[in-house]
């Protein structure tokens, strides 16, 4: 009967959920830019209070590991590692692109291919391709979307594209006859519950001392526009 606190901070959505036996008990989230530093710990407290679960009752902490925003991932990981260390409980990580796909699987129960996309500047996205069982067909990569790079997707049957990186690529992807597009799919902590529960049962835990988010690309510092 594990209680698992789930943290998602890889995009502009700051999201926290609490699950029991893989079922959602409570959640709180805000998609208002990168407000993670201000809101994440407040949301953790709010979710625990709503579910009337004391923090010492938690059995594990799960965090979205990326890829995604460098700063968002750092904040989420720091919070997750701090709680796991203080409570002496396991740390679980879940891929952000898998969380995006699980969102659609849970809400639509469809049988096809899923291609989540997270914005990674200009015409580049973090993406992967999964089947209806979340088995990896194309591994996670940083993809520059153009007429040449999308040819790989032509060999598959119907593919659903979604995520905050999908919109900017939609014109290019629309040239694919098998492309379908879904708006409003975000990597919410609500959709981490079953995934973190399965990892808990399989004892698929991270090394608390050495775990780092999956950035995929090096962090670049750019000059502020005047």
pLDDT value at residue 212 = 95
Convert the pLDDT of each residue in 61-95 to its tens digit: 999 999 999 999 999 999 999 999 999 999 999 99
Convert the pLDDT of each residue in 125-179 to its tens digit: 999 999 988 899 999 999 999 989 999 999 998 999 999 999 889 999 999 999 9
Q: 51-75 burial string, b = 16+ CB within 10 Å, else e?
A: bebeeeebebbbbbbbbbbbebbbb
Confidence of residue 104 (pLDDT cuts 50, 70, 90): confident
pLDDT value at residue 108 = 65
C-alpha 95/C-alpha 122 separation (Å) is: 23
How does the average pLDDT of the chain come out, rounded?
A: 92
Structural class in CATH, domain 3-96+187-201: alpha beta
pLDDT value at residue 103 = 80
Q: Which of 20-24, 50-54, 120-124 has the lowest mean pLDDT?
A: 120-124
- What residue spans in the chain does CATH classification 3.30.420.40 cover? 3-96+187-201, 109-181
> Does pLDDT of 3 surpass 90?
yes
pLDDT value at residue 1 = 85
DSSP class per residue in 24-87: EEEEEEE-SSS-HHHHHHHHHHHHHHHHT--GGG--EEEEE--SS-HHHHHHHHHHHHHHHHHH
Is pLDDT larger for residue 151 or for residue 105? 151
User: CB within 8 A of 89, min separation 6: which ones?
Assistant: 58, 59, 60, 61, 83
Percent of the chain past pLDDT 70, that is, above it, reads 93
113 within 8 A of 156, measured Cβ to Cβ: yes
The SS3 call for residue 154 is: helix
138 within 8 A of 144, measured Cβ to Cβ: no
Tokens 């594209």 locate to 161
Structural class in CATH, domain 109-181: alpha beta
Please compute the mean of the pLDDT values over residues 203-213 and round it to a whole number: 96
pLDDT value at residue 111 = 66
Q: Which of 51-55, 104-108, 192-196, 221-225 has the lowest mean pLDDT?
A: 221-225
Both tokens of residue 215?
Answer: 């950035």
pLDDT value at residue 224 = 46
pLDDT value at residue 223 = 47
pLDDT value at residue 96 = 97
C-alpha 185/C-alpha 139 separation (Å) is: 20
Strands laid side by side in the 91-94 sheet: 23-30, 14-20, 3-8, 60-64, 91-94
């Amino acid at each position: 009967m594990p209680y698992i606190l789930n943290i998602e901070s890889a995009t502009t959505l700051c999201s926290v959920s609490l699950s029991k036996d893989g079922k959602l008990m409570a959640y709180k989230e805000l998609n208002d830019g990168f407000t993670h530093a201000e809101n994440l710990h407040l949301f953790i407290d709010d979710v625990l209070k709503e579910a009337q679960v004391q923090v010492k009752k938690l059995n594990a902490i799960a965090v979205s590991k990326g890829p995604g925003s460098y700063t968002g991932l750092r904040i989420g990981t720091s919070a997750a590692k701090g709680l796991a260390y203080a409570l002496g409980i396991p740390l679980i990580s879940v891929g952000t692109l898998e969380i995006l796909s699980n969102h659609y699987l849970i809400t639509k129960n469809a049988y096809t291919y899923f291609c989540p996309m997270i914005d990674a500047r200009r015409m580049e996205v973090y993406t992967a391709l999964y089947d209806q069982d979340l088995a990896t067909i194309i591994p996670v990569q940083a993809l520059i979307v153009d007429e040449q790079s999308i040819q790989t997707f032509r060999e598959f049957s119907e593919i659903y594209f979604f995520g905050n990186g999908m919109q900017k690529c939609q014109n290019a992807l629309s040239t694919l006859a098998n492309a379908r597009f879904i708006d409003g799919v975000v990597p919410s902590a609500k959709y981490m519950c079953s995934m973190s529960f399965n990892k808990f049962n399989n004892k698929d835990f991270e090394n608390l001392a050495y775990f780092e988010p999956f950035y995929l690309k090096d962090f670049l510092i750019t000059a502020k526009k005047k």
